[in-house]
Amino acid sequence: MVVDYEYRAPIARIWLNRPGRLNAVVPALVDGLLAALHRAEVDGARTVLLAGRGRAFCSGHDLKEPPAGDDLPQVRARIDRIQEVTRRIRGYPGAVLAAVHGYALGAGCEFALACDVVVASEDAEFGFPEVGVGLSVTGGVSRLLPHLVGLAKARELLLFGERVSAAEALRIGLVGKLAPAGGHEQVAGELAAVLAGRPPVALQLARRALDLGLDGTLAQALTIEVDHALLTTRSGEHAGPRTEFSDGH
């Protein structure tokens, strides 16, 4: 299993579980994550906590996997499947929290930023290496990131792809809480318990109200990202650096 699931009412916990590859994203991991989110909703979990097994939360797409090919309908379907994670998290009836340690890069950072609250261990590192390896961002981050850190900082993070420490991520508003090294799941669990105790309708309405400023154009952002992903697939730019960045860090 590349995704682990546990439900202890009222909280569902989901772990990305490819520790040998720093939880790098492959289709099976995306499918497992979507299935776990659906299961949490069926179970009636009031809050969901998303974390990673091993040494990292998620190091981004697994560039050691064989190329998926450049058939555009297949590429579109693959990107849409990844973006469904953002849709599912944003549309979840209760709050979704990310407990991040180690690397949260590329798609991994996008998974985290889709959540309502991000708790970062002091050893966490965030970043968007896509431009440097000839790829494009997904998961609605082109819309979500500027709202978190401002447009100028978002440009810097995406264009240069430099990694951001947990302390810096807290300072610029990329994450909401900082936890001692190794304590990220405990802190996130405590916050999840607090939110699980909130009146569910009020909590859902509060989340929806906050998203109204985003959701009107988030769908447009997702569509644009698919188009960009198709363009980068056809450009061939992602082929050259594959070996250099194959470990996701």
* CA–CA dist 158, 150 (Å, integer): 12
* Calpha distance 184→99 (Å, rounded): 5
Measured between its terminal Cα atoms, the distance across the chain in Å is: 24
> What is the phi/psi pair of residue 115, to 5°?
-80, 160
Catalytic hit among 125, 130, 185, 225: 130
Max CA separation in the chain (angstroms)? 52
Handedness of CA 240, 243, 247, 249 (dihedral sign): negative
Backbone angles phi and psi of 178, in degrees to 5: -115, 140
CB 3 within 8 A of CB 36: yes
185 catalytic? Reply is: no
Q: Which two tokens stand for residue 193?
A: 């318990």
Helix (H, G, I), strand (E, B) or coil at 52: strand
Contact yes or no for 3/16 (Cβ under 8 A):
yes
User: Of 110, 125, 185, 225, which one is the catalytic site residue?
Assistant: 110
Half-sphere exposure at residue 26, Cβ-oriented, CA atoms within 13 angstroms:
16
Look at strands 164-165 and 177-179 and give their pairing: unpaired
65 in active site: no
Length of the chain: 249
What type of residue sits at position 153? K
- Annotated catalytic sites, by residue? 110, 130
